[in-house]
């Protein structure tokens, strides 16, 4: 398989990843607006991580050289690692509510981030991290987010490795 075809496969994967991340943000907004599930500071940080993954994935998909695509794939992985940290702490907080981040601790910081001013509905804090919402297919939203971020951290480098191996 030629290098151009392999790079095209990576670009298509990045577009798919970006679409999935935007769909996850859309699902979170649906749950917030329609179902009334207020986002906590860690929820908002996870939204930022998803948005960064999507932006870097789309930019990476637009790149034409292997090196440029690799740089943006690296930024996708770094953003996903940030998501792992936020979602992991959120899962921990849900299991041990007594260590809740508390709106008063993280809210001012998260609410001062740029998108909270531009798009407050999607990026302002309105809830507590320890609030137990109904599970989706047996897992909490924080657990699903953690799964998504971990899969991104694993699958992007694995895809790069497998796609760029030379076939004899």
Q: Residue 168's pLDDT is what?
A: 40
Instruction: For each of the domains in the chain, give its residue range(s) and CATH number, in order of start.
Output: 3-163 (1.20.1550.10)
Report d(CA 64, CA 90) in Å as an integer: 37
Q: pTM above the 0.75 mark? A: yes
Q: Residue 54's pLDDT is what?
A: 97
Report d(CA 145, CA 163) in Å as an integer: 26
Q: From the first residue on, what is the mean pLDDT of each consecutive set of 10 residues in the chain (168 residues)?
A: 72 93 91 85 91 96 88 95 94 79 65 79 75 80 91 89 66
Q: Residue 101's pLDDT is what?
A: 56
Here the tokens at position 149 are: 């971020």
Pick the closest to residue 81 from 162, 148, 143, 26 (CA basis). 148
Here the tokens at position 115 are: 């998108």
Measured CA to CA in angstroms, residue 13 lies from 36, 52, 64, 82 at distances of 33, 16, 14, 21
């Amino acid at each position: 398989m030629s290098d151009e075809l392999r790079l095209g496969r990576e670009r298509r994967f990045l577009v798919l990843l970006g679409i999935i991340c935007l769909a996850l943000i859309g699902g979170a907004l649906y749950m917030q607006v329609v179902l009334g599930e207020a986002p906590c500071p860690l929820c908002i940080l996870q939204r930022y991580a998803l948005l960064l993954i999507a932006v870097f994935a789309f930019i990476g998909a637009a790149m034409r050289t292997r090196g440029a695509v690799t740089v943006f794939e690296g930024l996708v992985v770094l953003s996903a690692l940030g998501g792992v940290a936020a979602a992991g702490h959120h899962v921990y907080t849900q299991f041990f509510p007594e260590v809740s981040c508390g709106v008063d601790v993280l809210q001012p910081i998260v609410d001062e981030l740029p998108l909270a001013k531009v798009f407050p509905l999607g990026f302002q804090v309105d809830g507590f991290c320890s609030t137990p919402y109904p599970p989706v297919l047996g897992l909490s939203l924080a657990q699903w987010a953690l799964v998504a971020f971990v899969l991104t951290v694993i699958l992007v480098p694995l895809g790069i490795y497998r796609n760029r191996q030379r076939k004899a």
